[in-house]
Each structure stands twice: as C-alpha cells, then as structure tokens.
C-alpha cells in the first residue's frame, strides 16, 4: 500500500516555498517539537508528490530561517518552533543591563574555586575585590530558542561560606549570581567590547566552527565603596546577537 499523499494549497510563489510554508505551519502547530526529526527527503517527496530538488530547497528555506538543522546522514532536526529573531540588547542604564537576564535563560555548566594565579580575572577579583574567587561557567540562551546565544564565565568575589556553597552548586549558582548583581549593590559597570576568533572548545559549546568571529564582552561590576563584586566574560554568537546603544549630545 503506497504512502498517502498530501496536496499543498494553491497559491503564488514557487512550489518549494509552499512546501516550506506547510512544514513551518506543522512545526508551529506542534507536530514536530524542538529536537524532533522531520521526515526524510524521500518520505517528503512521496508524501507531497514533489521532486528531490523541491524538497531540498524547502528544507533549505527552513534551515535559513533558523527552524531546523541538517546533517548528511542524520536528516533534519527541529531547533525552533518559530523563526527566531536576532537577539538585540539595547543598553542605556545599569537597570537595562540587569534586565538582560529576563529576556534570556542561563544554564550553568560547572563551577569551582580559583586561586589568583589560575586566571587573570581571578587575580583581579583577589586584588580589587579583596576576596576569594569562584568561577562559574554557563550558557546563555534566548528564552524561546535552543541555540546557544553566549558562553559566559563569571568570576565572583565571594564574601561568605554560604555564598561560596551556593555558587559551587550548579542548581543554585545562577540565582546567586543574580543576587550578587542586584541593582542595590551596583555602583558602576565597566565594560569592554572586542571581536575575537573562537577557540575549538568554546566553538563546540556555541555550535560554531573554530576560528569564527565571536563578540567578546568583559564587564567589571563594582560596589559603591569601590570594591569589585564580579567579572563577567562573555562570548556571544555573532550570528545571533546585536548590541545597540543610543548616544546623545551632553
């Protein structure tokens, strides 16, 4: 018994675009969720009565729009249920900076205590924060996307055993970082921006190729008395992130 065919709606535009729109609608409606595999090219050809060229172009359209990833031999996998937009961070004030976390989610990978000689930033924490350092490595994701937005390394000047314990626990580390940079604790944030080529280990986490350009942001958070609270070193996926600001005459 042959596969039951599905007829695409009549409409303007090439046939591959109509197939891509149909598949997009099915993804949005939940037929294939994030992480699910789409039917093979052969199955799609048989289901819709189209050529291999039409099917491949329709899948390419979905991939370009950020809905699926394709790998030879592994087929097509859904990575988003709606076309993701490029993440834009518009910063005017410290409050804007701290609201960044509300538009993203942080997944903690690991954490450990660092001696000052183990890292430049751990040394800064020791010297300017006058405290031991705990390093927390995380991935930041947009709220409704599975693609990594940034790899974030945070170096915290810890003030108590309780804070140390929370930062060393991957289940509580993210909340403790948010608590540490509470607006009532922050007097100023110094930040530096640059473009760097991503190393192999970091590229793997960000789903990029080694050597591709990433947007590097280093931020130093200071308390009102001038003490360094933490250093945040972030590598943002250049294809997903835009940093925007507004300049006015003084």
Q: What's residue 237's pLDDT? A: 87
* 3-state secondary structure (DSSP) of residue 114: strand
User: Which distant-in-sequence residues (6+ apart) come within 8 Å of 107 by Cβ?
Assistant: 138, 139, 140, 141, 174
pLDDT in tens, the chain (250 residues): 345 667 776 666 688 888 988 998 899 888 998 889 999 999 999 998 889 989 998 998 888 777 888 887 778 999 888 765 554 555 555 555 555 556 678 899 999 999 999 999 999 999 999 999 999 999 998 776 778 889 999 999 999 999 999 999 999 999 999 889 887 888 898 999 999 999 999 999 998 889 989 999 999 999 999 999 999 999 998 777 777 666 666 4
Beta-bridge mates of residue 189: 221
Total-model pTM: 0.63
Residue 198 neighbours by CB under 8 Å, 6+ apart: 206, 208, 210, 211, 212, 213, 214, 235
Contacts of 200 (CB under 8 A, 6+ apart): 210
In order of their start, the domains of the chain are 15-78 (1.10.10.10), 87-244 (3.40.1410.10)
Q: Is the dihedral of CA 51, 53, 59, 64 positive or negative?
A: negative
Helix (H, G, I), strand (E, B) or coil at 140: strand
- Please list, residue by residue across 83-121, b when 16 or more beta carbons sit within 10 angstroms of its beta carbon and e when fewer do: ebeebebebeeeeebbeeeeebbbebeebeebeeeebeb
Please list the alpha-helical segments (H only) found in 160-210.
161-167, 173-180, 200-206
Q: How many CB atoms lie within 10 A of CB 151?
A: 24
Q: Which of 106, 97, 3, 93 is nearest to 45 (CA)?
A: 3
Grouping H, G, I as helix, E, B as strand and the rest as coil, residue 240 is coil
| pLDDT digits 0-9 by tens, 69-112 | 888 777 899 988 876 555 455 555 555 555 555 667 889 999 99
The predicted pLDDT at position 106 comes to: 86
pLDDT at 114: 97
């Amino acid at each position: 018994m042959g596969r039951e065919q599905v007829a695409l709606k009549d409409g303007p535009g090439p046939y591959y675009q109509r197939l891509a729109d149909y598949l997009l609608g099915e993804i949005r409606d939940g037929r294939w969720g994030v992480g699910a595999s789409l039917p093979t090219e052969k199955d799609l050809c048989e289901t819709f009565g189209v050529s291999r060229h039409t099917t491949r172009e329709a899948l390419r359209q979905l991939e370009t729009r950020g809905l699926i990833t394709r790998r030879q031999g592994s087929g097509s996998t859904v990575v988003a249920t709606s076309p993701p937009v490029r993440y834009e961070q518009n910063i005017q004030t410290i409050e804007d900076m701290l609201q960044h976390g509300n538009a993203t989610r942080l997944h903690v990978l690991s954490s450990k205590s660092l001696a000052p000689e183990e890292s430049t930033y751990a040394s800064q924490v020791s010297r300017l924060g006058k405290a031991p350092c705990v390093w927390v490595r995380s991935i930041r994701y947009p709220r409704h996307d599975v693609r990594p937005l940034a790899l974030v390394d945070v170096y915290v000047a810890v003030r108590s055993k309780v804070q140390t314990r929370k930062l060393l626990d991957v289940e509580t580390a993210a909340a403790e970082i948010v608590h540490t940079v509470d607006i009532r604790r922050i007097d100023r944030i110094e930040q530096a921006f640059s473009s760097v080529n991503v190393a192999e280990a970091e590229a793997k986490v960000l789903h990029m190729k080694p050597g591709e350009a990433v947007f590097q942001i280093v931020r130093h958070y200071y308390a009102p008395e001038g003490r360094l609270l933490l250093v945040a070193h972030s590598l943002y996926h250049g294809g997903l992130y835009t940093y925007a600001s507004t300049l006015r005459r003084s």
